[in-house]
Chains A and B, each alone.
Chain A
Amino acid sequence: MAATAPHRRAGRSPLRSAGPALGRAGLLAPGLILLVALAFLPLVAIVISGFLNDRSQFTAANFAHVLTSGIYLKLLGRTLAVAFLTTAVAIALAWPAALALARHTSPGSRTVILGLVIIPYITSQLLLIYGFLSLIQAGGPVSFVLSHLHLVDAHASILYTPWANILMLIYENLPAAILIMYSASESIDASVLEAARTLGARPWYVFLRVVWPLSSAMVVVNFTLNFVQTVGAFAEPAILGGPNGQMLGIAIQAQLSTGASQGFAVALSLVLLVASLVVVGAVALLVSWMRRAQAGGTPRRIVTPATEV
């Protein structure tokens, strides 16, 4: 018996080590196949089509057109600015709510509130937009209340201005921002915040030196998710924004739907994609630099394992 045991173990060991590898491959494969088939390949096709003109000749003319056109660059700038503003404001509004939810709410009401937060998230986007439209249009509830308070003229409305679009985008960004900042707030130990107070830190100092650095990674995640989504918005500006509230997504959609120049539309969206990545990367770098600066430089790594006292 004793003699056969090592044999058996030796015979099984390759299988054992292959098991996890196979399992890993099996788990990763569906995702990888989907990613390659539905995201990576189309992207390659799009990039190629961006470099083709109407007669299917290879050219960089589409990109040259985008980058030299004042109108499109202005639209790109506005799109990035609107996306940045609405994302940042949504996070700023969501954070206090998330902190309150994580720290000062009973578990029961917390579940209810989080449920309510998710409702707009799972409601049809067009429904939300038209709901918002009917709310803010001239003669709608908001204008009715404000005009009766003699704050505005009866026919005044922010509908068809950039502000309607911006408010809508902030509103749409809020649920995800609250959920993400809630999980960030919940992951900070209450005793760590109390410790900071007992050490003489006022609430604002605690926020800057403890809450912010411990949440900043999640802020970047939050920013990335919301910003990338907002940059591509076209229904909101098209329905609510009016002539001065347009964003690049509308131009891309217009180019594609008229069939005028697919290559140009692709060039527009690729420029937008790269510009968005630059913004996201810059924000991520800035935040991690701030965090390192606060921690008092990267701690020197000491190889000796921590010894018991």
Chain B
Amino acid sequence: MARVIITGVSKTFNGSTALHPLDLAVEDGSFCCMLGSSGSGKSTLLRIIAGLSEPDTGTVRIGDRDVTGLPPERRRIGFVFQDYALFPHLSVGSNVTFGLRARHVSKREAVVKAERMLELVGLTGYAHRTPKQLSGGQQQRVALARALVTEPDVLLLDEPLSALDRKIRGEMQRELKRIHRETGLTTIMVTHDQEEAMNLGDRVLMLSNGAVQQFDEPERLYHAPANEFVAGFLGAVPLGHGVVGTGARGRFVEIAGNRFALGDSRLPDGTEADAVVMAERVTLTAATARARDEAEHEGVVVSLDFFGPFARAEARVGDVSVPAMMLSQHATALEGGARVWIRIATGGIHAFADGATR
């Protein structure tokens, strides 16, 4: 168990920058999720921590050891791969004992430890099977047991759940949470799924184009995105370009003649800004249902999409298009072309000054 401290680490591949120099401190026992789309540098960073890739500059410390330049086998890490990377020629039991045997633990002791670890991941009695006989979820549990059994200082997970189907992914997320709680192991996980990152991470490192966009608790990331990119990645939709101002009912951003209430914004009045809106914080009410509230906008439903439990509507306020996400039971009263009252909850709109975003 240890904290991981990264200082000034950067990396280029064939002249293109994969990681701009970055610093990062992951606290002992915490669960850090590195979130970003493909090419954001998140996997590169994880591989640098693991020693599978060497940084061009900077240092990596695990606990009180500087591990920069050490090969992966001397870093005392556990690594779980997206494609499981189990040894196809070895039984499940031998897969789990591999790391212990490589470190000269006696066979008897290794087998006992492997059994205990298979129990932790819920695979008691599977030691004699071959990896091929297991489902994807089970294989990933074996990979987890194999990484944990060597009692590493830090557990590194490279998109461990993205090859699994949705239902099993949810189950494995709970599993990972439980195992993290029980072992108290410093854990760093790479993912491109923001829900997964929010659910699992104590803190989330948001990366884009090889640079840190924000490193924060999930709630902060969601409620106070540092820039338009972060907001967009977490599902916010561009509302339009406008000017920030202050009116009788507080701060607003005026887009194409429509004033949208802004929560707390540090932008001074008169600032030109790009505004984004979180569709799940927008509520639509059919105009026929009741009279309009002062804080509500008047609009027209342009489109309506049904996704099972959820529905998504697009409404127009003048020339501005406002998306709304709702439980589909609330969408039954709506229809295309209908007049609606649009309420945007406080903090549902963020404005970012021009040029401050990537």
Contacts and interface: CB of A to CB of B under 8 A. Distances in A.
A307 B128 contact: no
Given A198-B50, A309-B141, A192 B87 contact: yes
A213 B103 CA distance: 19
A295 B101 CA distance: 13
- Interface centre among B50, B72, B75, B83, by most chain A C-beta atoms within 10 angstroms, is B72
A155 B350 CA distance: 89
B24 interface: no
A197 B87 contact: no
A309 B126 CA distance: 12
Given A302-B128, A309-B137, A197 B90 contact: no
Interface residues of B, number: 47
A198 to B, nearest CB: 4
A194 B133 CA distance: 23
A296 interface: yes
A202 B85 CA distance: 17
A6 to B, nearest CB: 37
Nearest to B101: A209
B266 interface: no
B122 interface: yes
Contacts of A195: 79, 81, 85-87, 143, 146
Interface string B90-110: 110110001101110000000
Interface in B130-187: 130, 133-135, 137-138, 141, 143, 146-147, 150, 156, 168, 171-172
A309 B135 contact: yes
B355 interface: no
Interface in B46-92: 50-52, 71-79, 81-83, 85-91
A213 B129 contact: no
B78 A309 contact: no
A200 B137 contact: no
- Interface centre among B83, B89, B103, B130, by most chain A C-beta atoms within 10 angstroms, is B89
A306 B77 CA distance: 30
Given A191-B81, A197-B71, A201-B98, A306 B133 contact: yes
Given A191-B81, A200-B99, A308 B89 contact: no
A202 B98 CA distance: 12
Contacts of B73: 197-202
Interface in B24-63: 50-52
Contacts of B77: 198
B135 A302 contact: no
Nearest to A305: B133
A16 interface: no
- Interface centre among A200, A306, A307, A308, by most chain B C-beta atoms within 10 angstroms, is A200
A198 B133 CA distance: 24
Interface of B: 50-52, 71-79, 81-83, 85-91, 93-94, 98-99, 101-103, 122, 128-130, 133-135, 137-138, 141, 143, 146-147, 150, 156, 168, 171-172
11 contacts: A191-B83, A197-B71, A198-B75, A199-B102, A200-B150, A202-B73, A296-B90, A296-B93, A296-B94, A309-B122, A309-B171
